[in-house]
Structure 1
């Protein structure tokens, strides 16, 4: 079994089933995430499926998602 590490090529992650954000668009603003065997979560840019994957623990992903839902990162997006 291949060792999973942060920054490894995303296409080498065994058992990853990638899910694209519904907010992805035709301009290539795409993020995909996959649950990995063992419970970690990988994230990649879908424009570069063989590029590096960031590997997070479940608690890290939970903190990110809940923080985004709470608006903690709203200052990082442009005003519409």
Structure 2
């Protein structure tokens, strides 16, 4: 099954949403879900029924590589 960007996160059945352990449960993080079929969904943890962005495995892997390489560190306060 394929999903479009902006789909309601609550409208994606049967997935497990995962958040980083660094969030410490304070509601200021993103959550990700493996959609199968080569796609990953991302949602805001404070709005679990809000929109989800959907990325291909390749897109998500490129983002993770950039994050692991500290390419986005300048964007944090």
TM-score normalised by L of structure 2 = 0.89
* Residue in structure 2 matched with residue 46 of structure 1 by the alignment: 45
Radius of gyration: which is bigger?
A: 1
Note if 1:7 corresponds to 2:40: no
Q: How does 1:14-53 map to 2 (within 5 A)?
A: 14-53=13-52
Q: CA RMSD in A?
A: 1.5
Structure in which a larger fraction of residues adopt helix: 2
Q: How many pairs were matched up? A: 77
TM-score normalised by L of structure 1 = 0.86
* Residue in structure 2 matched with residue 59 of structure 1 by the alignment: 58
Structure 1 runs of 4+ off > 3 angstroms? none
- Structure 2: give runs of 5+ residues left out of the alignment: none
Deviations 1:22-65 (A, max 9, x none): 11134421210000031200000111110000000001110111
SS in 2 for 1:23: helix
Within 1, Cα distance between the matches of 2:28 and 2:67? 17
- Structure 1: give runs of 5+ residues left out of the alignment: none
